[in-house]
Amino acid sequence: MLSFESDYITGAHPKVLEALIKTNYEPLPGYGNDKYSARAKQKIKAACEAPDAEVFFVAGGTQTNRVVIGSVLRDFEGVIAAETGHIALHEAGAIEATGHKVITLPHQNGKIDAAALEAKIKAFYADDSYQHMVFPGMVYISHPTEYGTLYSKEELSAISSVCRAYNIPLFMDGARLGYGLCSYETDLTLPEIADLCDIFYIGGTKMGALCGEAIVFSKGNAPAHFFTMIKQHGALTAKGRLLSVQFDALFEDGLYYEIGKHAIDMAEKLKTIFAEKGYEFFMQSPTNQQFVILESAKLQKLKEKVAFSIWEPYGESHTVVRFATAWSTTDEDLAALKAIL
Amino acid sequence: MLSFESDYITGAHPKVLEALIKTNYEPLPGYGNDKYSARAKQKIKAACEAPDAEVFFVAGGTQTNRVVIGSVLRDFEGVIAAETGHIALHEAGAIEATGHKVITLPHQNGKIDAAALEAKIKAFYADDSYQHMVFPGMVYISHPTEYGTLYSKEELSAISSVCRAYNIPLFMDGARLGYGLCSYETDLTLPEIADLCDIFYIGGTKMGALCGEAIVFSKGNAPAHFFTMIKQHGALTAKGRLLSVQFDALFEDGLYYEIGKHAIDMAEKLKTIFAEKGYEFFMQSPTNQQFVILESAKLQKLKEKVAFSIWEPYGESHTVVRFATAWSTTDEDLAALKAIL
Amino acid sequence: MLSFESDYITGAHPKVLEALIKTNYEPLPGYGNDKYSARAKQKIKAACEAPDAEVFFVAGGTQTNRVVIGSVLRDFEGVIAAETGHIALHEAGAIEATGHKVITLPHQNGKIDAAALEAKIKAFYADDSYQHMVFPGMVYISHPTEYGTLYSKEELSAISSVCRAYNIPLFMDGARLGYGLCSYETDLTLPEIADLCDIFYIGGTKMGALCGEAIVFSKGNAPAHFFTMIKQHGALTAKGRLLSVQFDALFEDGLYYEIGKHAIDMAEKLKTIFAEKGYEFFMQSPTNQQFVILESAKLQKLKEKVAFSIWEPYGESHTVVRFATAWSTTDEDLAALKAIL
Amino acid sequence: MLSFESDYITGAHPKVLEALIKTNYEPLPGYGNDKYSARAKQKIKAACEAPDAEVFFVAGGTQTNRVVIGSVLRDFEGVIAAETGHIALHEAGAIEATGHKVITLPHQNGKIDAAALEAKIKAFYADDSYQHMVFPGMVYISHPTEYGTLYSKEELSAISSVCRAYNIPLFMDGARLGYGLCSYETDLTLPEIADLCDIFYIGGTKMGALCGEAIVFSKGNAPAHFFTMIKQHGALTAKGRLLSVQFDALFEDGLYYEIGKHAIDMAEKLKTIFAEKGYEFFMQSPTNQQFVILESAKLQKLKEKVAFSIWEPYGESHTVVRFATAWSTTDEDLAALKAIL
């Protein structure tokens, strides 16, 4: 069965798997105190050109979001996000379960706008009743967004400036960061992201690892006892090696970029196939997720031959669906898809 | 200083105060086990024509909202409210602090619409990812709303029907319920509200009490050990008499309605004064809160002579302000206001 | 019916009630922004000889404990308390509901010991796994304790020293503080308590108010936006005057001490009556709560004539019960009790 | 470097690793909807002889405890555990972070006693103030315990009977369940555990998996929308295959028992070595964790050659340390240890 359902349909990239196999029998201390952890963190700091950064590994994205947001926010604060943000919609209330409100902003293809953000913050402090309200305590963005779109350097700089003007940390959800970094349409590098954001994470699960995300506090700004907070959230991996060995491999010899570039190239070919077949796109996505408009009546039939994700209704008779590429997408997969379409 | 700032600027209605004075020296058990509590609950159930109702007294509105919503919702559920709802905006994240999301709907003058509500719930269950999302577990409305508006019987019935169709409890915030019941423009009675809502509260603080709200579970549907939940939220009053004696007085000889009617009559006169003086209203409110548009430049000067509340900006140069009447508003106050205007 | 059930069986002390009556018709702003609030806070700071103190009023004790502890603790911290502490046993999990653990210490008649406290904290930091554990972030004591006992100046100083050595704030629950201050066996004054504790509250509900507790951050050390946290906990009183007017009266002309002294004197007489009648005490209490050992078989009969509280079983056939005095206890009450015994 | 530090020092058992390698390139749906998940669940239900059981996979133990306990308890309930229980001491307040109290009982070598449990529950309901207290809503035990000890069938049956008499679910933390099942001193089988407990988990991480625990609701008694609760806790694994493939392997051809038996046999040999060398044991442990008393002064030197865990001080001059065996412990490791000792 052909599958373009997501970028987490296959296991680990061969080089990541190889690293796990190679180190499997080595006795290593638990909870991230192993030597691969130290080495992987060093590599990530180097890749970010952020020598003061603090890096932590946890297993998944929602876990990352809840432990970071829950630990950084003070009790009277909430986090600002696009109304389509993953934390706002698709994490089953994980942020609220930590006691904090997600304050939403309108989005444009998944992105928030610096001017709207500043207006929101200004309106808050201008409100006579602001002491009865949730304080804006963090800004959360995804890059790529839920819709595969990317912030430009100018856009991210503007958001970062607003955050700094109001002393609000900026947190980037980089579950698919590698696809953003390798897009043909981006002008943002990893060091620039590390510079403009206060906190971000480098996604592993959707970038060729079995699991794992690397949380980066760019300026040594991790909250006090963040290790203990990871434990409290149930996010501390006993066999920490599972995460560190994978990230050590992902940041060896540019593998992370290799994976990203492969998926982007496959996505470009995918776009061409859909375009040639006359399909319309819901939006122009420069990354590995492509949103195509299909006739709802034909979904079922297509699903018998190829797996993809249902996104949202589009008018009465059509549906937006998502096709995603990944490290494991092959030219044969694309040829087979073309034949089916 | 003249004050139309809110409906909680003065102490207790004389008859409420009298009841407190009269019972002050009686030894009574704590935590709501006093005889006035039993009597007040009985009166409320009679006024609601809801013999199976369960009634609880707590001191304030936000407290009521958080203990009711926090206790009724299951962990995977959130509460649906208008984006202008008190719980959505002005309770400092009290609901989220109990671990639950406030899911917002657009509003029309503070009200939500049954059709939009049903569409929201339907869209939730139709979403392929709904298991990754917060379940709709309660509907919260205010009556009167934040803008002083009222649901008609038809509107409330429609919302109630949607709730019942999806087995979602309907909770009405009645901080100012008495003003709604006594409005000249309402067609809803207390028994009808008790019938259409699963849970509601009868506001005391803004209706002539020093403090106190009466939570009504209309159909004997209080969650298990709700008393203990009140304690856990810090909402259990040791001298429960403070609440029960006041409600006993409010529901003696129709005092609650007397207070409501007085404030409504004063509000009607207030409206006439503003209209005669050529002021514009932000909206037509049928209750005791009136929203008037003032020139921002003149606010400060007016504030020196009369207290009112700043609501929100209106264009570049104007501001919406609120004038509220209460049990203690007099014809002299109105005459003085007229003179100032 | 005679009642020694608790110190909150009657309403307000006449002078407190008088103050409420006198100010009832004055229009005053809400949420603690009234002039009586400013004045009461000034009086309290003067009584504490703590000019930098920050004072906040809330309605009840559990509310106070949860908003103070919940706001001061960081997410990775818990609060240390005696295993008999109110927060550990009788607040229905209110502290845990804010996400924090109550770490218990053994007690001696309700008190904790500085040496045991220090040993606990030292053991924590000496533990190889301390990063997997809840950090000690606050020390909570009651004065008087649950058993009516008092810390001596030496004992409190020792606890305070341990707290400061480890940079852990010391919080005193003073629900019955006035009875402690007026005991014939105390050597601690209010200014000394303000000096030795970082946070404490001056109980009103059990000291002649209808409701109300005054939270004191002795050294201007209130956490950021504590007002907003009060709101979030549902503990903000709309008619803030209800609290401020009462505290203004309690701290006028030494009324707080007058109330305390009266109850202590009544308790001393009560002790004598029980002793003369041959009853045994569960412990020697120097304050207004007296714990007497009664034959369980005779409880029911006695309860028909006088109300008191069941405390705990004492062996197979006896029960510890509590008799409490208050501002409203009279010599007639005591004579009647004597006759019954 | 020789390591007996824990049972999670090495990667995956070769057969588990092989299964991951073999399935690595297969496209599979995420979030546990893969075919291996269905198959692994079927195998586990068969091994438990519990056809109505519901099985869920999550990555780690603390995660399991917080999602199970947090989801099953109602807001007014807490969980009863030994004072040495993992949730009581070593999960950084994860349970309290979900809003629930851990109610502790004394322990005997890590175990609780049915009689003490019943006394605790009875005392709760007999307490006049029980409505002001946290209700006992679950009983948590570990098997093996923190000290490697095991419940006998008689002991577990007695605890189970108490739980059923009071309608309180019994939850067993089986992080090291396999070592318990394979101990030479146990009389409890997996089906018996499934029968006597309402909920338990079968540990993977400490039993030869890279990560993963299998939660079993023995009688189809999973709480509503438990999948969503897993997501909310950040415990939903996107590449669910990582968990399901490993459990599919662990429950193929008795591998789980094979791993358990190997570690137990190694532990028996380890015991003999220590005994022969004249060391004393802190307690008799029938499973893979052995607690030995060492001179504190010699710890550092020994640590240079072999890794082990510091447990707790033993008097002034000695220390309890833990040596653990696992699937990867070899006779060579033991011989090397013997030489060092």
| Residue whose tokens read 């101990």 | D183
Chains near B (3 or more Cβ pairs under 8 Å)? A, C, D
Q: Indicate the length of chain C as a whole number.
A: 341
Binary contact (A211, D237; C-beta < 8 A): yes
pLDDT class of A1 with cuts at 50, 70, 90 = confident
| Residue whose tokens read 């869209």 | B123
Cis previous bond, D144, omega within 30: yes
- Alpha-carbon span A121 to A306, nearest angstrom: 45
Compute chain C's Rg from CA coordinates.
Answer: 20
> Are the C-beta atoms of residues D6 and D213 closer than 8 Å to each other?
no
Chain D 231-260, residues with CB within 8 Å of chain A CB atoms? 231-239, 241-242
Binary contact (A102, B99; C-beta < 8 A): no
Q: Treating both helix axes as pointing N-terminal to C-terminal, what angle do B255-276 and B241-250 enclose, rounded to 10 degrees?
A: 70
Min distance C86 CA to chain D CA atoms (Å): 10
CA angle B160, B164, B169 (to 5 degrees): 80
Residues of D in contact with A205 (CB under 8 A): 238-239
Q: How many CA atoms lie within 13 A of C258 on its CB side?
A: 13
Structure tokens at D320: 């309890």
Interface B:C, Cβ pairs < 8 A: 164
> Are the C-beta atoms of residues A98 and A121 closer than 8 Å to each other?
no
- Alpha-carbon span C255 to C327, nearest angstrom: 10
Residues of A in contact with B89 (CB under 8 A): 133
Binary contact (A93, B99; C-beta < 8 A): yes
Alpha helices per DSSP H over D8-93 = 14-23, 35-48, 61-72, 86-89
ipTM for this prediction: 0.97
- Alpha-carbon span C42 to C252, nearest angstrom: 11
Compute chain D's Rg from CA coordinates.
Answer: 20
Binary contact (B100, A96; C-beta < 8 A): yes
- Per-residue pLDDT, averaged over C263-289, amounts to 96
In tens, the pLDDT along B238-292 reads 999 999 999 999 999 999 999 999 999 999 999 999 999 999 999 999 999 999 9
Binary contact (B75, A90; C-beta < 8 A): no
Alpha helices per DSSP H over chain C = 14-23, 35-48, 61-72, 86-89, 94-97, 114-126, 153-165, 177-181, 190-196, 226-232, 241-250, 255-276, 296-303, 331-340
Residue partners of C70: CB distance under 8 A and separation at least 6: A75, C95, C98, C99, C100, C229, C233
Q: Which helix (H) or strand (E) holds C214?
A: strand C213-217
Chains near D (3 or more Cβ pairs under 8 Å)? A, B, C
> Are the C-beta atoms of residues B137 and B165 closer than 8 Å to each other?
no
Closest alpha carbon within chain C to A69: C75
Binary contact (C28, B10; C-beta < 8 A): yes
> Are the C-beta atoms of residues B215 and B188 closer than 8 Å to each other?
no
* Partners of B340 in beta bridges: none
Binary contact (C231, A99; C-beta < 8 A): no
Q: What is the pLDDT of residue B1?
A: 78
DSSP state, B111?
B
CA angle A112, A114, A120 (to 5 degrees): 85
Chains near A (3 or more Cβ pairs under 8 Å)? B, C, D
Q: Which candidate from D92, D102, D131 shows the least CB-CB separation from C76?
A: D92
Binary contact (A239, D26; C-beta < 8 A): no
What secondary structure does DSSP assign to A154-217, as a single string? HHHHHHHHHHHHTT--EEEE-TTHHHHHT-TT----HHHHHHH-SEEEEE-GGGT-SS-EEEEE
Structure tokens at A248: 């050590």
In tens, the pLDDT along A129-148 reads 999 999 999 999 999 999 99
- Alpha-carbon span D116 to A82, nearest angstrom: 52
Name the percent of chain A lying above pLDDT 70: 100
> Are the C-beta atoms of residues A85 and A108 closer than 8 Å to each other?
no
In tens, the pLDDT along C48-92 reads 999 999 999 999 999 999 999 999 999 999 999 999 999 999 999
Residue type, B57: F
| Residue whose tokens read 């803030």 | C240
Greatest CA separation found in chain B? Answer: 63
pLDDT class of B306 with cuts at 50, 70, 90 = very high
In tens, the pLDDT along D272-330 reads 999 999 999 999 999 999 999 999 999 999 999 999 999 999 999 999 999 999 999 99
- Per-residue pLDDT, averaged over C160-188, amounts to 98
Chain A 38-77, residues with CB within 8 Å of chain D CB atoms? 59-67
Q: Is C338 exposed, middle or buried (0-12, 13-18, 19+ CB in 10 A)?
A: middle
- Other Cβ atoms within 10 Å of D126 Cβ, number: 11
Structure tokens at A75: 């009790």
> Are the C-beta atoms of residues A180 and A186 closer than 8 Å to each other?
yes
CA angle A254, A255, A258 (to 5 degrees): 90
Q: What is the pLDDT of residue C1?
A: 79
- Other Cβ atoms within 10 Å of A167 Cβ, number: 7
Binary contact (B92, A132; C-beta < 8 A): yes
pLDDT class of A2 with cuts at 50, 70, 90 = very high
- Alpha-carbon span A265 to D317, nearest angstrom: 65
Instruction: Name the strands in the sheet holding D289-295, side by side, starting at the edge strand that comes first in the sequence.
Output: D280-281, D289-295, D318-324, D309-314
In tens, the pLDDT along B191-222 reads 999 999 999 999 999 999 999 999 999 999 99
In tens, the pLDDT along A64-81 reads 999 999 999 999 999 999
CA-based nearest residue to C102, from D96, D74, D141? D96
Binary contact (C99, D99; C-beta < 8 A): yes
CA-based nearest residue to C59, from C15, C18, C107, C8? C8
Assess A130–B contact: CB distance below 8 Å, yes or no: no
- Alpha-carbon span B230 to B250, nearest angstrom: 22
In tens, the pLDDT along C207-260 reads 999 999 999 999 999 999 999 999 999 999 999 999 999 999 999 999 999 999
What secondary structure does DSSP assign to D216-268, as a single string? EETTS-PPTTHHHHHHHTT---SSTHHHHHHHHHHTSTTHHHHHHHHHHHHHH
Q: What is the pLDDT of residue B161?
A: 98
Q: What are phi and psi of A318, to 5 degrees?
A: -120, 165
Give the C-alpha distances (Å, rounded to integers) separating D262 from A282, D249, D328, D331.
57, 17, 9, 11
Q: Which candidate from B8, B11, B232 shows the least CB-CB separation from C97?
A: B232
pLDDT class of C172 with cuts at 50, 70, 90 = very high
Interface B:D, Cβ pairs < 8 A: 43
Give the C-alpha distances (Å, rounded to integers) separating D307 from B125, D293, D303.
53, 15, 6
Residues of D in contact with C99 (CB under 8 A): 93, 96-97, 99
Determine which of D206, D211, D246 to mutate to test the interface with A (most A C-beta atoms within 10 Å).
Answer: D211
- Per-residue pLDDT, averaged over B67-95, amounts to 98
- Alpha-carbon span B57 to B32, nearest angstrom: 8
Binary contact (A12, D24; C-beta < 8 A): yes
Min distance A115 CA to chain D CA atoms (Å): 32
- Other Cβ atoms within 10 Å of C154 Cβ, number: 11
> Are the C-beta atoms of residues D250 and D16 closer than 8 Å to each other?
yes
Q: What is the pLDDT of residue C39?
A: 98
Least confident of A107-111, C88-92, C251-255, C311-315: C311-315
- Other Cβ atoms within 10 Å of C123 Cβ, number: 12
Binary contact (A76, C228; C-beta < 8 A): yes
Sign of the CA dihedral with D329 first, then D332, D338, and D341 last: negative
> Are the C-beta atoms of residues C56 and C214 closer than 8 Å to each other?
yes
Q: Which helix (H) or strand (E) holds B269?
A: helix B255-276
- Alpha-carbon span C211 to D97, nearest angstrom: 30
* Partners of B54 in beta bridges: B217
CA-based nearest residue to A78, from A114, A103, A106? A103
CA-based nearest residue to D166, from D77, D95, D252? D77
Chain D 291-330, residues with CB within 8 Å of chain C CB atoms? 309-310, 313
In tens, the pLDDT along D203-231 reads 999 999 999 999 999 999 999 999 999 99
Name the percent of chain B lying above pLDDT 90: 99
Q: What is the pLDDT of residue D154?
A: 98
Q: How does the average pLDDT of chain A come out, rounded?
A: 97
Q: How does the average pLDDT of chain C come out, rounded?
A: 97
- Alpha-carbon span C189 to C182, nearest angstrom: 9
- Alpha-carbon span D51 to D195, nearest angstrom: 11
